[in-house]
Structure 1
């Protein structure tokens, strides 16, 4: 899985597919969401964090119209929810600047069920240790020249230390987590943007970007020489709380209806 947009030699495409992954079991990762456009095409991944909100990446803010929940196969999805408001982090400018996080308010609240569940977010700022085992999931490409897939796929990735990550990248924004990629066959690709990095059942990161193939618009799924980069959710705890807990989304969000 990989996600990429123009940023130096980086492209943050709104797709994510993973190498060396597997199809996710139907009874796991029930918080996963497909964020789609007017035509019902998959644009980005996302994840349900409350009855009203799905979290995704800010760079996914294209022609988003609906969120699909409740089925890992996009051709069989039944729960299609309209997006009522988009709540993009106010400091987001581009992927290279950071703050690549967005909340989507659903037009109708979603109740947990056998097919749909929320995922927990960090309660406070935290830092993952090097080599901590995580998972990343999405409907993105499984190879550079392929297409997004119908079945949700998941892959295990390990956290890479900030020191190593900043050594391998010429420039990195603040408040990120590096995991996967970097001389492994495990990570994300185009179509996976906005999906969660999951650690011990908690969403700790959001798929943000990786390196593209030089002189092309393609993200390199085959496989990069640098770590995959995620937005660190815990570093945006207070902004998230304003919207989810304090119900200030009327002032901080833009209507899409």
Structure 2
């Protein structure tokens, strides 16, 4: 069910239904690499901290010395700057079975150097409204049927889905630590996009987490870890010049 991290061969194509994007337009976007290969996304929140999904940590905990973030590039596994991981902190409410609180605060060893292609993103403190339009970016699969990751950063725009409607579709509880978005045929986050950003009005509202059978069902919403639900946790664990955001979306 989880939109798992994954690596694959490359073609100059897209996140499912996406378009080519420039890192300068989304300078908070990160690629998490293992043994030099892209596996997940992430977001810069300060010079020394990033956010990503928690579910990669259990799979790669023993290889933390082989994990690194790549920042400041529109190309998968090319260019930009590399940042080794010092440690990560999982939310204490993390539940692998229910996918609750699928978030990890990650400290990097060498700081991010800000510029036009590397910038932090503010964290939303309030859940978005139904039908708000959000932006998702990533280097993941562009076809749910084949393990081919995007060579260039991809971007899509999708709408926030009502929690009750999402629960009806999945026939399960969608908790306060989750946000649903999507229900667009052949358009959405996929394998390799996990941990990446869901953004509204330049605020990080969600982290790519899971969907039904990965991303092979085009008519169901994707589920994101809700950043507002863990705002205080992030602020308490990350020692950084915190970017405060307004409660209301612009």
TM interval, shorter chain, is: 0.7 to 0.9
Q: Distance in 2 between matches of 1:130 and 1:243?
A: 30
Q: Distance in 1 between matches of 2:193 and 2:240?
A: 30
Q: How many residues are matched?
A: 227
Number of the residue aligned with 2:154: 153
Q: Distance in 2 between matches of 1:237 and 1:11?
A: 23
Compute the displacement of 1:171 (Å): 1.7
Of 61-70 and 99-108, deviating more is 61-70
> C-alpha deviations, 1:79-117, integer Å up to 9, x for none?
011101111112213162401000110002223112211
State yes or no: 1:133 paired with 2:133.
Answer: yes
In 1, are the aligned partners of 2:37 and 2:77 still within 8 Å (CA)? no
Of 130-139 and 164-173, deviating more is 164-173
Q: Distance in 2 between matches of 1:140 and 1:155?
A: 12
Find the residue that maps to 2:148 and give its secondary structure: coil
Q: Distance in 1 between matches of 2:112 and 2:184?
A: 40
Across the aligned residues of Structure 1 and Structure 2, the Cα RMSD in angstroms comes to 1.9
Unaligned runs of 5+ in 2: 8-13, 242-250
Change (3 A) 1:243 1:11: closer
Change (3 A) 1:103 1:220: same
State yes or no: 1:57 paired with 2:53.
Answer: yes
In 1, are the aligned partners of 2:140 and 2:189 still within 8 Å (CA)? yes
Give 4+ residue runs of structure 1 displaced > 3 Å after superposition: none
Unaligned runs of 5+ in 1: 1-9, 213-218, 248-257
Q: Note the 1:107-126 alignment, pairs <5 A.
A: 107-122=109-124, 124=125, 126=126
Q: Distance in 2 between matches of 1:115 and 1:95?
A: 37
TM-score normalised by structure 2 residue count: 0.85
